Amino acid sequence: MKPTMNQNETKTTEIIKKFNFMSKDGSENYEVNIIEILGGVYSYYTWPCAKILAQFMFYMRRCMKNLNILEIGAGTSLPGILAKKLGANVILSDSALLNKSLNHIKRICACNNLKPGVDIQVKGLTWGMIGNGLFDMSNDLDLIIGSDCLYDSFVFEDVLSTISFLLDQNPKSTFICSYQLRSSDWTFENLLRKWNLKCRNIDLEEIGKDAGIDMKDLMEGHVIYLLEFYRLS
């Protein structure tokens, strides 16, 4: 472990976590190294939603080859880096306003022997802002993914408007998002109608059976759903 100090002189601890994804019979195994900064900002920690989404990527491993995938709000980028190791072409994105977070993603890529700009792309994408960054990555996407992006009701519209734009540009694509239920009062049904989107729940039990695990163990006591968003035809 490596103790560090941030600008506010608060002690933080940097660790490297290893995440393994193995088939039920043990014949397939993929390892992802993630640098976490404990005591740092939220994006430096791998939340349960990221583990759920990454397990889905592994479940879909036979379909990953050469897919063009964009991860939004990547944080520690566990699902996106696993997708890259499974053969996909991946863009990892986080807010263009958070240079430290983008640099952290690049460090995590290097920790997995992936060179940003060569093996994998790291770009700034700020939800709700239709700027050059969004146009730069809006073509030829097969899949958009995000873990815990809908973490608070105040970001719902920014996220869903961004997804609506991306799906307009990529009508055959969908958005797969792991969602932690934090309040039963929160809803985004009205925003789905506003942005011409539909949403369905993906069965987590089948995903767990594939790897011989109980997906509830990855949830760490939280209620988490895996959702697929798509355009209304």
- pLDDT tens column, 157-210: 999 999 999 999 998 999 999 999 999 999 999 999 999 999 999 999 999 999
pLDDT over threshold 50, residue 101: yes
Is the per-residue pLDDT at 50 higher than 70? yes
Tokens representing 103 are: 């640099």
In a domain, 17, yes or no: no
d(CA 176, CA 80): 12
Instruction: Please check whether residue 74 lies inside any domain of the structure.
Output: yes
Please give the share of the chain, as a percent, with pLDDT higher than 90: 83
Q: Looking at the 3D structure of the chain, how many domains does it have?
A: 1
Domain-located, residue 13: no
How many Å apart are CA 96 and CA 199, to the nearest integer?
Answer: 27
Rg (CA), the chain: 17
Whether 34 is covered by a domain: the verdict is no
The rounded distance, in Å, linking the Cα atoms of 63 and 20 is 19
* Structural domain boundaries, residue 154: 44-231
The model's confidence at residue 5, banded by pLDDT at 50, 70 and 90, is: very low
Q: Is residue 32 part of a domain?
A: no
> Alpha-carbon distance 66 to 29, whole Å?
19
Q: Please determine, for residue 6, whether its predicted confidence score (pLDDT) is greater than 70.
A: no
- Is the pLDDT assigned to residue 10 strictly greater than 70? no
Give the pLDDT score at 42. Answer: 83
The reply to whether 162 falls in a domain is yes
- Tell me, what amino acid is at 60? M
Residue 103 is part of a domain; what is its CATH number? Answer: 3.40.50.150
Q: What is the mean pLDDT of residues 18-45?
A: 93
- State both tokens at 155: 């970001």
Residue 11 within any structural domain of the chain: no
Is 213 a domain residue? yes
Closest C-alpha to 44, from 122, 105, 85: 105
Sign of the dihedral defined by the CA atoms of residues 146, 143, 100, 162, in that order: negative
Task: Write the CA distances from 137 to 22, 43, 123, 174, 227, integer angstroms.
Answer: 31, 22, 9, 15, 22
